[in-house]
Structure 1
């Protein structure tokens, strides 16, 4: 699947498919996109949906997905479903689908040929249960990135690193200049994300797949992973003075030159864009920490709880269709910093970092996201472990690795 870097799709307009509803219908859409870059991206989805004659009713929930998901699930199971709701690709909504609470979009998917243009195939597979399609993937978000402040390294008098080892080596110079080497927020998923990125970069995608996919506890406890935990220990030391909570606050530290770098998903690009920073000039991006140029095919998808109102059901179809239209895919993902799920759209306006991601995707150097391989309970246990590891210096890398291997052994 190739991405055409032309301008044609911008002029193509929005293709609705099932969007021709006769009357305007309000549809509440819940999500956890509240940072500056995220809000700009959501506005593109809302604008495209409103153009169908319906009305996007924004149901943003402040905080991370860890905070928002229980609220969303509680409303759906409690009989107060929204029109559509965000989840990440993978197994997060699996129990809701099994309980018969989510709408089946197989008919619309077949009518519009989703299997022909959604790429990679694993994105739609993550929406499929027992042969039926229950969600709409809207982007590909990879967490495999190290974002670097060019200003911070200039102020410290050292060259911008080209890989993880150079970044670690530059940490003393950054600290001497009063700059935090590595910015990490205190949200539970951020420390897990950093660990997972380090794992793929230093141990390779095969090790990642065997541990999170095959649940290989022996490998998780072995010497190869000991090197990963040693690097995570370095990350812990470099981020000790980060002292921020939200991921976008950590990104702001990089934007302002108060931190040398941040291990974060490509959604950070939205924050750089809102701040008016230019990739390659103001900041540098290293996919796979500059070691293993791999991207994960996680991201965001929308599920549609079943409705008793037939007009809302029609509006759901309109929203599902418009989210996948070429024009919406371009407008949304350029603002979000993510890659589109379509392989046939215009990305002429993509910045240098997004183009790096597109090149990696085109080569097929991809891995699934942990949410696509492990149950929500297993992911939560891993999150809890790394929150403790980064907060408690008394927890050694060796002891953390032992506990990690135990979680993997019991995971489903």
Structure 2
């Protein structure tokens, strides 16, 4: 053990959870690499380091789709990290079932997570056969349309108040040399945009019939046909984006090169980093301004089983630290997400975060598709919508038929 860690630990022993007097380095893997995300994850590292331990950052460039296979390969290959990010839902289900993940039930019980984590579906997503295997850190919602006020001013049209007005404004944006809708080339972005369109246009009940109940008849029906018509509009409006990463697409909105972007609330971190102010420089429309519903997806940390006793103790300290009120506030204000605790003060929240908090308080929430579908079914959706957005010769009717087939066999 390094002396500087020992000195820090001895000075803070009384404040450390679970008797973590023996401080240690702990590698934490995640895919938070954009500017806004890096600022947010630094708050988690700062909080953990304050316990006398050391956060060893294991950032993996790219999206979750790039990072997860690497994380899983390390865990199954016998080279586990100390902790790793996954999204809320079923992404780590097989790892838990294989006995490769640490049971956090004792920590969750001691710290009363069931009472403080809201909504309860977040902790439910961490629970398998009655045991809790992850620590949720935020609520991320996909259902947002981010608009550049400067782009619409340049195009000579009012900032839209809903999806239909946005579609109607597209010709004016194009005439002004502005891409109406920025959609990056990674498959998960097109997939997420479709899910947002579904709940906005078809409504919450239809969304849940398709993804929660796996109703293939509804998936093949007229309500979903309207969604595919909107997705057809979206891919037409996104032509010319020519970027891959989501934060590059967000930057197009920040710089006025694009009129808008359908993206989760993590985009707020990029606007904040660029010094832009919600309601002044950019506008946010939850539920695309049609149905103000947000999903309660987001991120959680899992802790692979490791033999090193000191690292195992540090895992417990980190799990506890992630749920501390001060950690929750500092991290989520930078990340643009909402805290998983319902008892923290977010007086510093911006206009868009306050909209999200209001929707959450009203209970207008859905579970994300990562929570409702297996990783395999989600991958099939991603492949379909990646192809649909890239291949304009695929008709909405053909895409809907393939979508219905995916839902029919979904688990």
Q: State the TM-score, normalized to the length of structure 1.
A: 0.96
Q: 2:33 matched to which residue of 1?
A: 34
Aligned residues of 2:179 and 2:238 also touching (Cα < 8 A) = yes
Q: Distance in 1 between matches of 2:32 and 2:75?
A: 19
Is residue 2:329 matched to residue 1:320? Answer: no
- Residue in 1 aligned with 2:301? 302
Distance apart, 1:22 and its partner CA: 1.2
Correspondence 1:5-404 to 2 at 5 A = 18=17, 20-404=19-403
Instruction: Give me the TM-score of the superposition, normalised by structure 2.
Output: 0.96
CA contact (8 A) 1:17 1:321 kept: no
Are the aligned partners of 2:18 and 2:317 in contact in 1 as well (CA < 8 Å)?
yes
Equivalent residue of 1:124, what SS? helix
Whole-angstrom distance in 1 between the partners of 2:80 and 2:122: 24
RCO (CA 8 Å, sep 6+): is it higher in 1 or 2? 1
Contact 2:149 2:282 (C-alpha < 8 Å) held by counterparts:
yes
Deviation at residue 20 of structure 1 after TM alignment: 3.8
Distance 1:116 1:57 in 2: 31
1:17–1:112 contact (8 Å) kept in structure 2: no
Alpha-carbon contact 1:148-1:261 (below 8 Å) kept? yes
Per the alignment, residue 7 of structure 1 pairs with none
TM-superposition CA deviations, 1:89-148 (whole Å, max 9, x none): 000000000000000000110000001110000000000000000000000000000000
TM superposition outliers: structure 1 runs of 4+ over 2 Å: 15-20
**How much does 1:21 deviate?**
1.2
Q: d(CA) in 2 for partners of 1:175 and 1:208?
A: 32
Ranges in structure 2 where 5+ consecutive residues have no aligned partner: 1-13
Q: Specify whether residues 358 and 17 from structure 1 end up closer, same or farther in structure 2 by C-alpha distance, changes over 3 A only.
A: farther
Q: How many residues end up aligned between the 2 structures?
A: 398
Secondary structure at the residue paired with 1:90?
coil
Q: Where does structure 1 lack aligned partners over 5 or more consecutive residues?
A: 1-14
Q: Equivalent residue of 2:70, what SS?
A: helix
Q: CA RMSD in A?
A: 0.9
Q: 2:16·2:51 contact (CA, 8 Å) conserved in 1?
A: no
